[in-house]
Amino acid sequence: MKKIGKELQFKIIIEQDEDGMYVASVPELPGCYTQGKTLEQVRERIREVIELIMDSDEEVRKEKFEHPMVSSRFFGFEEATIHMYA
């Protein structure tokens, strides 16, 4: 039986922590996150984690194959500073 391939899209969030490490996550995939010392390293690692999750979670895989493109549209990031008093 021939397998049918599809291009699947994922939104990846990459941040840099206080130690300079890059942290990547995919909000639509539970537990999909990793870190790396460089952008190249974290990009490679997050793709590996995506593949591992897609290979190991049949329910997530089925849902993503039914809806291969990202449905939500990226809007932006904001930071908020809140002053609190004890």
DSSP sequence for 15-80:
EE-TTS-EEEE-TTSTT-EEEESSHHHHHHHHHHHHHHHHHH-HHHHHHHHHS-S--S--------
Q: What is the predicted pLDDT for the residue at 1?
A: 61
- Give the number of C-alpha atoms closer than 13 A to the C-alpha of residue 55, restricted to the C-beta side: 6
Share of the chain above pLDDT 90, in %: 57
How many angstroms separate the CA atoms of 42 and 25, rounded?
A: 10
Take residue 42 and report the two structure tokens written for it.
Answer: 């974290």
The model carries a pTM of 0.77
Q: Is the pLDDT of residue 34 over 90?
A: yes
pLDDT recorded at residue 71 = 63
